[in-house]
């Protein structure tokens, strides 16, 4: 491994002081956004040569914290001390000039440009006032080779897979004069091998005295690379613990403020008639290959797998959203293979998409309009083609009240609600019509613990009332604790079917990854 | 409104100064009321004849053509697109309608009513065809609304010129112009009456039917609309069809007023109709907009044109003012979003 040149004067001098002075101190930081206090008096420090994990649920304030370290936002209150000096990080550019680099979950890549153009964006290689394309190409190639990423510098970013784009993003951050590296769930779309490679790099820069702020939800990663862990909850500092002594249960209860059995309800399963059976299904894009599953009334069936395992595609193909090449789908004793969304809705199949902003809700319209949208053709909402707006308002108000929408204002634009309440609006949509099978795809993405508990109760109630429920989720505890039966998918194939006592974390994880690779 | 922001999240109590209420009004109603207010003040000062019942009725009559087109344009804008071919639709409607009507009345001079009906239907069919082609291109073939309607505006304009050789079409029965151009129906100028009927109908469609709701939903988030079981392609198609039909009706009325079929009318309509919608707060990204405001927006543009005429501002300069107004409206809308973010609710 050739030297990528991280060793600036500062990092060299601080390596001697690892135990005494922190590299970066965030003291009593508060950050207020219009109407929201995202961080409330949080202190956090980073030593040179350590991996410091920020741990917490979505909305706990982790992203806000790293955004301030990276110079994206400025704190409303509190001070930042960098290498012993109080510093105002005015911009991303300023932070980068101090050696602070971030890899965010949301990529900062320009898709129309090539890999090398992206790597040097804002920091172009110049000669005599013109772009020096040859030098940029050579430098990009050297950087990628050093990192061990199999990317071509001349390729357009738009044509890369998500994992490859992630690599470009990481390569952008791993540059010379690095002192603080921020990684926000960098492994979310990487394969095992790429993850191993990333961790090697992290170890390497760590040895050179770089401080690393690392955000992850994965316990295995924390065990593997963390030195210290700071837990945030609802914008507040909870604790900083030593990674060597912290246990998983301890971390979960610090993160959520509750123990596991307070989060998940007890559900009485009374499995009845089979309502959905998928036989040897394959899709045109080959993301689902030869999968067969079945679902009965009165049970919750979990579908687990890594991102991209095809678990979401499997259910989407039953809802008219994917091209099916082989296999058949039987719903309520009727062959519904290849039916459209509308036809499936009318038969009582409801699919709740994972991305509420992108697919689930019309963010700029009111709650009322969103909740009633799938059902406007029903007699409850219209008569002779004229909408019954009063009855619509009444019905949606009742549904919103039952789900404890806060604030309970159905005329308010969805965008103005918090993430948790937006999720409630999304879930409300399935309550306006008769549904026999509910599919919830990542039902608790980006919601706080309180809402999470309410959503689980809501799902449990639907099931106990005799409906069939499918929960598709990448959140392992969620599928482990809710499912009556659990299917595990991997790379488009069904890997295992677990039920009862077989549903354990070990059994699921074993089926997450390639057996050959393990 | 101020009570609302007080009770929620215990925000710092807003000061109840006149400035605060002005800001609140700006956020709630947009820039249009302010522009209308300023326009009325300025034109009343520059001309004694401006603020008279007779002149204002004149403004309404003159604006009715643009109002109709703007209302149609709103459907395209609501779904997140726009229609640049509305001017061409008017021209083609005029040429096709006049040609058919002249031919029909020449063939059967005794049945004038039938000849007028044939002409009107032919004109509307021309508009509906352009609208349908736009709709098919945008909804089924996935062509961007910009390219689709820009292309069709060239196609339609070319056809209209080719049919007439660039000269006006004469020979329509005089009754057509007498009734629809200069006549009165129920005490109102005919174009105003037709406009009111159409606007009421479209108001009901937008606010009281499923289809109306679907326009908003498709424009707001087409994926969410699709997952809610809405036929998004059909909705998009209908938006362009409606837009074409309404513009076509405006074209018929304008033809009656001019008493000739012209290929060169309507060229300013795409800009003016989009301007009327944007000034009225219709979002260019789709999903937001109110029909009653669009009517006001179109009337505002008519008012400004009328006021400038009375103040003897040269017509070429008037074009400059309309363009500038459009840009000011968009800037004001951006400012509104910023004020809204600061005020929170």
Predicted confidence (pLDDT) per residue in A29-42, tens digit: 998 876 678 899 99
pLDDT in the model for residue B15: 57
Cβ-defined contact of B223 to A376 (cutoff 8 Å): no
Q: What percent of chain B has pLDDT over 90?
A: 72
Q: Do B8 and A362 touch (CB under 8 A)?
A: no
Beta partners for A471?
A302, A440
What average pLDDT does this structure show over B75-95?
Answer: 96
Question: At residue B2, does pLDDT exceed 50?
Answer: no
Which residues in A lie closer than 8 A to residue B223 (C-beta atoms)?
Answer: 353, 358-359
Mean pLDDT of chain A: 86
Of A34, A365, A389, the CB nearest to B217: A365
- pLDDT for A505 equals 83
Architecture of domain A273-348+435-453+462-513: 3-Layer(aba) Sandwich (3.40)
The pLDDT assigned to A11 comes to 41
Question: Which chain B residues are closer than 8 Å to A345 by Cβ?
Answer: 228-229
Confidence of residue A145 (pLDDT cuts 50, 70, 90): confident
In a domain, B26, yes or no: no
Chain B, nearest residue to A321 by Cα: B227
Selected residue of B229, B286, B289, B340 to mutate for chain A interface (largest A Cβ count, 10 A):
B229
CATH number for the domain whose boundaries are A9-111+176-258? 3.40.50.300
Residues A95-115: what's their mean pLDDT?
86
Reduced to 3 states, what is the DSSP secondary structure of residue A173? helix
Provide the β-strand partners of residue A281.
A291
Alpha-carbon distance B225 to B205, whole Å? Answer: 18
Token readout for B15 is 């000061």
A124's CB contacts (< 8 A; 6+ apart) are A131, A136
Cβ separation of B220 and A362 shorter than 8 Å? yes
Q: Where exactly are the structural domains of chain A?
A: 9-111+176-258, 273-348+435-453+462-513, 362-433
Establish if B314 belongs to a structural domain.
yes
Verify whether the Cβ–Cβ distance A359 to B223 is below 8 Å.
Answer: yes
The CATH number covering residue B115 comes to 1.10.3470
| Same CATH fold assignment for domains A9-111+176-258 and A273-348+435-453+462-513 | yes
Mean pLDDT of B160-183: 93
Is B9 within the bounds of a domain?
no
pLDDT over 70 at A322, yes or no: yes
Region B188-197 average pLDDT: 94
**CB atoms closer than 10 angstroms to residue A274:** 14
Q: Give the contacts of A4 (CB within 8 A, at least 6 positions apart).
A: A143, A146, A174, A175, A176
Which has the minimum average pLDDT: A402-416, B105-119, B192-206? A402-416
At residue B344, the pLDDT reads 53
Per CB-CB distance under 8 Å, the chain A contacts of B216 are 362, 365, 369
Considering only CA atoms, which of B160, B156, B124, B138 is closest in space to residue B245?
A: B124
State residue B13's pLDDT score: 47
ipTM rounded to 2 decimals = 0.83
Domain-embedded: residue B224: yes
CA-closest candidate to residue A346, choices A334, A358, A354, A363 = A334
**Residue B227 reports pLDDT greater than 90:** yes
pLDDT tens-digit readout, B238-251? 999 999 999 999 99
- Write the residue in B209, B227, B341 that is nearest to A353 by C-beta: B227
Q: Please state, in angstroms and rounded to a whole number, the distance separating the CA atoms of residues A378 and B215.
A: 18
Q: How many domains does chain B have?
A: 1
Residue B2 lies in a domain: no
The contacts of residue A472 (CB under 8 Å, 6+ apart) are: A302, A303, A311, A312, A315, A354, A439, A440, A441, A442
Residue B7 domain flag: no
- The pTM of this model reads 0.81
Q: Please report whether residue B106 resides in a domain.
A: yes
Of residues B208, B210, B180, the one with CA closest to residue B195: B180
Contacts 24+ apart (CB under 8 A), A244-249: A248/A219
- Rounded to an integer, the average pLDDT of B100-120 is 94
What pLDDT is recorded for position A292?
95
pLDDT of residue A305: 86
Domain of B149 in residue numbering reads as 32-343
Residue B340 binned pLDDT confidence (cut-offs 50, 70, 90): confident
Q: Are A431 and A465 in contact (CB under 8 A)?
A: no
pLDDT at residue A36 in the model? 72
- Would you state the pLDDT for residue A446? 73
Q: What is the pLDDT of residue B200?
A: 96
């Amino acid at each position: 491994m050739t030297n990528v040149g991280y060793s600036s004067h500062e990092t060299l001098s601080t390596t001697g002081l690892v135990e005494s002075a922190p590299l970066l101190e965030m003291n009593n930081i508060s950050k207020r956004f219009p109407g929201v206090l995202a961080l409330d008096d949080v202190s956090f420090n980073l030593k040179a040569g350590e991996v410091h994990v920020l741990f917490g649920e979505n909305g706990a304030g982790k992203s806000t914290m790293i955004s301030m370290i990276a110079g994206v936002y400025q704190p409303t209150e509190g001070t930042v001390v960098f290498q012993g000096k109080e510093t105002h990080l005015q911009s991303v550019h300023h932070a980068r000039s101090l050696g602070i680099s971030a890899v965010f979950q949301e990529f900062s890549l320009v898709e129309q440009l090539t890999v090398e153009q992206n790597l040097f964006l804002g920091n172009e290689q110049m000669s005599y006032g013109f772009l020096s394309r040859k030098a940029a190409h050579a430098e990009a190639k050297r950087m990628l080779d050093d990192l061990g990423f199999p990317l071509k510098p001349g390729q357009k970013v738009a044509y890369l897979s998500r994992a490859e784009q992630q690599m470009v993003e990481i390569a952008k951050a791993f540059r010379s004069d690095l002192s603080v590296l921020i990684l926000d769930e960098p492994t979310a779309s990487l394969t095992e091998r790429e993850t191993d490679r990333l961790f090697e790099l992290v170890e390497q820069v760590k040895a050179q005295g770089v401080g690393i702020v690392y955000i992850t939800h994965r316990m295995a990663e924390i065990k593997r690379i963390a030195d210290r862990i700071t837990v945030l909850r609802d914008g507040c500092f909870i604790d900083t613990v030593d990674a060597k002594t912290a246990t998983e249960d301890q971390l979960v209860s610090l993160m959520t403020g509750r123990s596991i059995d307070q989060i998940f309800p007890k559900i009485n399963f009374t499995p009845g008639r089979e309502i959905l059976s998928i036989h040897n299904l394959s899709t045109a894009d080959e993301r689902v290959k030869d999968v067969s599953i079945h679902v009965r009334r009165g049970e919750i069936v979990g579908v687990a797998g890594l991102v991209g395992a095809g678990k979401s595609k499997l259910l989407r193909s039953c809802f008219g959203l994917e091209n099916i090449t082989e296999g058949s789908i039987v719903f309520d004793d009727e062959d519904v293979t290849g039916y459209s969304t509308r036809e499936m809705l009318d038969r009582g199949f409801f699919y709740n998409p994972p991305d509420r902003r992108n697919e689930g809700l019309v963010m700029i319209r009111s709650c009322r309009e969103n909740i009633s949208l799938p059902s406007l053709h029903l007699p409850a909402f219209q008569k002779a083609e004229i909408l019954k707006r009063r009855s619509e308002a009444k019905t949606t108000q009742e549904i919103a009240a039952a789900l404890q929408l806060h604030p309970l204002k159905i005329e308010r634009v969805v965008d103005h609600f918090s993430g948790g309440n937006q999720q409630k609006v999304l879930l409300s949509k399935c309550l306006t019509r008769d549904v026999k099978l509910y599919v919830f795809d990542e039902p608790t993405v980006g919601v706080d613990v309180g809402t999470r508990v309410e959503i689980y109760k809501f799902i449990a109630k639907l099931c106990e009332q005799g409906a069939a429920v499918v929960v598709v989720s990448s959140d392992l505890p969620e599928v482990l604790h809710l499912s009556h039966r659990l299917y595990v998918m991997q790379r488009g194939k069904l890997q295992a079917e677990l039920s009862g006592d077989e549903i354990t974390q070990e059994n699921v994880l074993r089926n997450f990854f390639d057996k050959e690779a393990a | 409104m101020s009570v609302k922001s007080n009770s929620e999240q215990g925000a710092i109590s807003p000061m109840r100064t006149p400035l605060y209420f002005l800001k609140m009004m700006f956020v709630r109603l947009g820039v249009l009321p302010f522009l209308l207010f300023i326009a009325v003040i300025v034109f009343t000062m520059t001309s004694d004849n401006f603020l008279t019942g007779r002149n204002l009725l004149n403004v309404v009559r003159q604006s009715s053509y643009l109002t109709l087109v703007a209302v149609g344009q709103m459907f395209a804008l609501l779904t997140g697109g726009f229609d640049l071919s509305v001017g061409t639709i008017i021209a083609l409607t005029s040429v096709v309608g006049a040609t058919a009507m002249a031919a029909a009345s020449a063939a059967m001079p005794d049945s004038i009513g039938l000849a007028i009906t044939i002409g009107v239907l032919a004109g509307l069919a021309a508009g509906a065809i352009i609208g349908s082609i736009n709709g098919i291109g945008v909804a089924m073939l996935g062509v961007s609304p910009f390219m689709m309607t820009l292309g069709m505006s060239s196609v339609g304009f070319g056809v209209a010129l080719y049919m007439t050789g660039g000269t006006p079409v004469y020979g329509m029965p005089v009754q057509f112009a007498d009734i629809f151009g200069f006549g009165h129906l129920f005490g109102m100028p005919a174009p105003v009456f037709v406009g009111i009927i159409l606007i009421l109908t479209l108001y009901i469609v937008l606010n009281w039917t499923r289809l109306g709701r679907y326009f908003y939903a498709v424009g707001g988030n087409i994926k969410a609309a699709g997952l809610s079981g809405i036929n998004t392609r059909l909705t998009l198609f209908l938006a362009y069809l409606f837009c074409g039909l309404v513009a076509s009706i405006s074209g018929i009325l304008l033809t009656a007023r001019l008493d000739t079929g012209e290929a060169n009318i309507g060229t300013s309509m795409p800009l003016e109709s989009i301007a009327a919608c944007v000034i009225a707060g219709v979002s260019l990204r789709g999903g937001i907009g109110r029909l009653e405001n669009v009517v006001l927006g179109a009337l505002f543009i008519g008012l400004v044109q009328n006021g400038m005429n009375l103040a003897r501002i040269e017509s070429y300069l008037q074009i400059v003012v309309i363009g500038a107004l459009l840009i000011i409206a968009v800037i004001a809308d951006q400012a509104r979003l910023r004020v809204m973010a600061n005020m929170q609710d």
